[in-house]
Amino acid sequence: MAKETNIVLNSDDQSLGTIQMSPQVLEIIAGIAANEVDGVAKMHGSLASGVGELFGRQLDRRGVKLSSNDDELGIDVDVYVQYGVSVPKIAAEIQNKVKQQVTVMTGLTPTEVNVRIQGLVADEKEQSIDQNDIFGLHSQEEKSDEEE
């Protein structure tokens, strides 16, 4: 959001006062919701969030930006997905999950949830090292024997 103003939640009974929420709360809700979708590898963060993580701070709002015009709330979510998943399916699930969680937890309904896929993350292959053949010489000999 452009300015750091609290968001006032509308409630039917305001006799006890108003309810205000920091924009960071919405970003955290959206970030956690997006991370819960199967196929999301990680959220895309800025340099500042990367530095924060180096110092042990976990930023759940990483990769989420809010925008608002009048009474409209927009949420941008930047993610990395796992290699091999259906990108359109994952993006639609992220949109639905973020919109649902923000609405349920705050009563605010986002008018749009934009998902940007920043990249793919491949699963790391586990490499086993034979203690008796550290340089892999025997495996090359076995392959040549199999070819003959």
Whether pLDDT at 3 is above 60: no
Distance CA 46, CA 52 (A): 10
pLDDT: which is higher, 83 or 9: 83
**Residue 63 has what DSSP assignment?**
T
Closest CA to 59 of 44, 74, 41, 71: 44
How many CA atoms lie within 13 Å of 99's alpha carbon, on the beta-carbon side? 15
pLDDT in tens, 49-95: 444 444 554 556 679 999 988 778 999 999 999 999 999 999 999 99
pLDDT in tens, 11-29: 667 778 888 899 999 999 9
Q: What is the pTM of this model?
A: 0.70
8 Å CB contact between 98 and 106: no
List, in sequence order, the alpha helices (H) in the chain. Answer: 23-35, 47-54, 87-106, 137-147
